[in-house]
A and B are shown apart, each in its own frame.
Chain A
Amino acid sequence: MAASRTTLALLLFAPLAFFAAFFLAPMAVVALTSLTTDDGGLTFAHYARILFDQYHWDVLWVTFRIALATTALCLLIGFPLAWYLVRIVRWRSWRRACVILIVVPLFTSNIVRSFGWMVLLGRTGLVNQGLMGMGMTERPIRFLGTETGILIGMVYILMPFVVLSVGNALAKIDTALEDASADLGVGPARTFWFVTLPLCLPGAVSGAIMVFALAVSAYVTPALLSGGQITVFSMLIFQQYSSVFDFHYGGALSVTLLVLTLVLVTLAGRIGERGRRAA
């Protein structure tokens, strides 16, 4: 069909142009800015400043530690939750209610939800009152300004991504596969390990990657729950752009975070793939 050639070219060009304009261009601007001085000369000084300063490495370590812990906790809690929704709930309206409960928070602002946790986790907040009421602690536990506090807020906010992607993968697994495994003499636990888990691994990996990427770049939640005690990388970037107005240095910080995140995400993707093949 010769006539469709132009159409095809247009069809290819349109999304390409869209991506270029809205994704590549801003990134290119940031990357370029990070490599230039105020008078337009090429420089790597901003990157050198980041790489040779221990402080940046400390902040990076905190950032990635929180993001990894968030991802791990989201998987640990999200997987059983997804299992419950897909495999255990029989009553359709209850399942729908649960899904709504999980999704609706995504419609409200991070700021509102993080403030909610500030109230809940405060010295006299509901969490501490509850813990003391049950006699699990004598004095209020300090959550705000600790990594634990940030972790609680992040896990809460990012959990839906894991539940939804794992739930989706679980729902697509034909239960006849588990029947077949049992039929071949394999008990429930090993069937889960050899059949069910490998089949939802892609869903778990994509959920984990989403959570990790969002957690590494999160600003609002750590900023509100850190109480100024803990600094994560996005705060450094924000300072440069909004208070110091050093777009070159801020750009270099952004690119550093982006590259490190990409490296980790690629590694995770590889692991997911290998796990899938090995099983």
Chain B
Amino acid sequence: MQPLLSIDAVSKRFAAHRALAEVDLVVEPGEFIALLGPSGCGKTTLLRCIAGFLTPDEGRIRIEDEDITRAPPYRRPLNTVFQSYALFPHMSVADNVAYGPRRAGVGRREAQARAAEALALVGLEEMGTRLPRALSGGQQQRVALARAIVNRPKLLLLDEPLSALDLKLRRRMQIELKHIQEKLGIAFIFVTHDQEEAMAMADRIVVMNAGRIEQTGTPEAIYRAPATRFVAEFVGEPNLIALEPAGPGHARLAIGGAELPAASGMRFAMARPEDIVLVNGDVPDDLATFPGVVEEVLAIGPLTTLFVRCGETVLKVARLGMSGVELRPGSPVTLGLRPAALHLIAE
């Protein structure tokens, strides 16, 4: 199938600052893509280039067959949900949503009907006559979404649309957005700096750093097999254990000393906190064990994290529920991990 959006080697500079460096990205129809990265990584710049508010210095952006690299925003077959919502304060909610169809020449009645339909989709059918400022932040967010999908674009861009909402509302909107996206079959490109949000919603995550794409992949791939140390550290909390060379094709863990097959050039083995276990009594054969001393116990309810010092490094060990809260700082423990299950990182 022909890709919906293809971005080829797009670069953008702001004076001396390189905001985007030869970014490539392909988005399939109906896909939910999260652009994830710290602030200043170029994710919003990339989104603005796709929307047409910025023109790339180099490279090409195509939607289906059409080259839109230099097309003005009002000639692009896509819509945007803005971070600040950007609702027109002088128009009612219904007029805000009907604005696109109205200006495109759709009759007043037809436009109002479409607006009502879009508002119903986001659960705001009752609010049409109100002014945006009379709505709560969450409701304004929904109006912005309704206004952006009323024309049924093939591609919707969302610029940190949930960042102004409180945590509970945010969780609810994440699920709702995902449902709306699946129902309409519109491709979403969703900018966020919140890795949990990206993991919860996206089909594919694009991790960006310093104007470059570090890795593109499913949430699982990004989490289990990060391509770089940056991705490992930005998504979740990794334990990075240094590798020492141990003959051709092999390396030795700096902690515990277990040997494992490793291509040359691999410098770290990554273990997620849930990959490391506390060992009591019998040890399975494939588990490498080593001693440590508890430094800190952090229990947040569903998860308890132990910070265990093993020589130079402090390892994070996650346990479900409140198990492990009885351990006190200073307690000696034995940790275990499966060397074969570790993911290796070069840099």
Q: Is B51 an interface residue (CB 8 A)?
A: yes
Q: Which residue of A lies closest to B99 (CB)?
A: A184
**What count of chain B residues pass the 8 Å CB interface test?**
24
Distance from B160 Cβ to chain A, minimum over Cβ atoms (Å): 13
Contact partner, A199, options B79, B80, B90, Cβ 8 Å: B90
Binary contact readout B99-133 vs A (1 if CB under 8 angstroms, 0 otherwise): 11001100000000000000000000000000000
Bound complex: CA of A176 vs CA of B99, how far in Å? Answer: 15
A180 adjacent to B88 (CB under 8 Å): yes
Asked if A186 contacts B103 (CB within 8 A), the reply is yes
Can you list, as one digit per residue, whether each of A246-279 has a CB less than 8 Å from chain B (1) or not (0)?
A: 0000000000000000000000000000001101
| B-side contacts of A190, CB under 8 Å | 103
Check A185 against B90 for contact (C-beta < 8 Å): no
Q: Specify the chain A residue showing the minimal Cβ separation from B100.
A: A184
- Whether the pair B151, A185 counts as a contact (CB closer than 8 A) is yes
Report B49 CB to chain A, min CB distance, Å: 13
Chain A at the B interface: mostly helix, strand, loop or mixed? helix
Chain B residue with minimal CB distance to A173? Answer: B89
Chain B facing A: main interface SS? loop
A194 / chain B contacts, CB cutoff of 8 Å: 99, 103
CB of B38 within 8 Å of the partner chain: no
- B104, A195: Cβ atoms under 8 Å? no
User: Given A190-B103, A194-B103: A182 and B73 within 8 A (CB)?
Assistant: yes
For B12, list chain A residues within 8 Å (CB). Answer: none
- Could you tell me the distance in whole angstroms from the C-beta of B20 to the nearest C-beta in chain A? 19
Docked CA distance A99–B175 (Å): 50
A sample of 6 more A-B contacts (CB under 8 A), given A177-B86, A199-B89, is: A174-B84, A180-B82, A184-B151, A185-B104, A279-B90, A279-B91
Q: Which residue of chain B has its CB nearest to the CB of A175?
A: B86
16 CB-based A-B contacts, threshold 8 Å: A176-B82, A176-B86, A177-B89, A179-B53, A180-B80, A180-B147, A182-B52, A182-B74, A183-B74, A183-B79, A183-B80, A184-B79, A186-B74, A186-B103, A187-B74, A190-B103
Nearest-neighbor residue (CB-CB) of A277 within chain B: B90
| Nearest CB of chain A from residue B134's CB, rounded to whole Å | 15
A184 to B51, CA, bound (A): 11
A227 located at the interface, meaning its Cβ lies under 8 Å from any Cβ of chain B in the complex: no
Q: How far apart are the CA atoms of A173 and B73 in the complex, in Å? A: 19
> How far is A59 from B314 in the complex, measured between Cα atoms in Å?
91
**Is B72 in the interface zone, CB < 8 Å from A?**
yes
Rounded to whole angstroms, the CA-CA distance of A181 and B87 in the bound complex is 10
* B74 CB contacts on chain A under 8 angstroms: 182-187
* Distance (whole angstroms) from the CB of B206 to the closest CB of chain A: 21
Cβ < 8 Å to A, chain B residues 58-103: 72-75, 79-80, 82, 84, 86-91, 99-100, 103
Note all chain A residues with C-beta closer than 8 A to B53.
179, 182
With A198-B90, A199-B89, A279-B90 given, is the CB distance from A183 to B84 under 8 Å?
A: no
Beta-carbon contact of B86 and A276 below 8 Å: no
Q: Is the CB of B99 within 8 A of A181?
A: yes
In the assembly, what is the distance between CA of A200 and CA of B84, in Å?
A: 20
Identity of the chain A residue whose Cβ is nearest the Cβ of B77 in the assembled complex: A185
Which are the 3 A-B pairs with shortest beta-carbon distances?
A184-B100, A180-B86, A176-B86
A277 CA to B100 CA, complexed, in Å = 18
- Expressed in whole angstroms, the Cα–Cα distance for A276 and B90 within the complex equals 7
Residues of A within 8 A of B99 (CB): 181, 184, 186, 194
Question: B78 — nearest CB in chain A belongs to which residue?
Answer: A183
Q: Given the complex of chains A and B, what is the CA–CA distance between A174 and B82 in angstroms?
A: 12
Known: A180-B82, A184-B99. A195 touches B88 (CB 8 A): yes
Select from chain B the residue with minimum beta-carbon distance to A195: B88
A112 and B51 CA atoms in complex are apart in Å by 54
Closest B residue to A185 by beta carbon equals: B74
Q: Are A182 and B86 in contact (CB under 8 A)?
A: no
- Of B75, B88, B100, chain A has the most CB atoms within 10 Å of the CB of B88
Q: B137 CB to closest chain A CB, in angstroms?
A: 16
Chain A residues with CB below 8 A from B75, complex form: 185
Give complex CA distance A182, B73 in Å: 6
Give the residues in chain B near A177, CB-CB below 8 Å. 86, 88-89
Q: Which of B84, B91, B103 contacts A185 (CB 8 A)?
A: B103
Q: Contact between A179 and B90 (Cβ–Cβ < 8 Å)?
A: no
Residue of A nearest to B84 (CB): A176
Give the distance in Å from the alpha carbon of A183 to the alpha carbon of B86 in the complex. Answer: 11
- Which partner residue on chain B sits nearest A201 by CB separation? B90
Interface centre among A177, A199, A279 (most CB of B within 10 A): A177
Report the separation of the CA atoms of residues A121 and B302 in the bound assembly, to the nearest whole angstrom. Answer: 84
CA distance A185 to B51 in the complex (A): 11
Closest chain A residue, CB of each to CB of B91: A279
The CA of A264 and the CA of B79, in the complex, are separated in Å by 44
Shortest distance in angstroms between B315's beta carbon and chain A's nearest beta carbon?
A: 45
A177: nearest residue on chain B (CB-CB)?
Answer: B86
Which residues of the other chain, B, contact A182 by a CB distance below 8 angstroms?
Answer: 52-53, 72-74
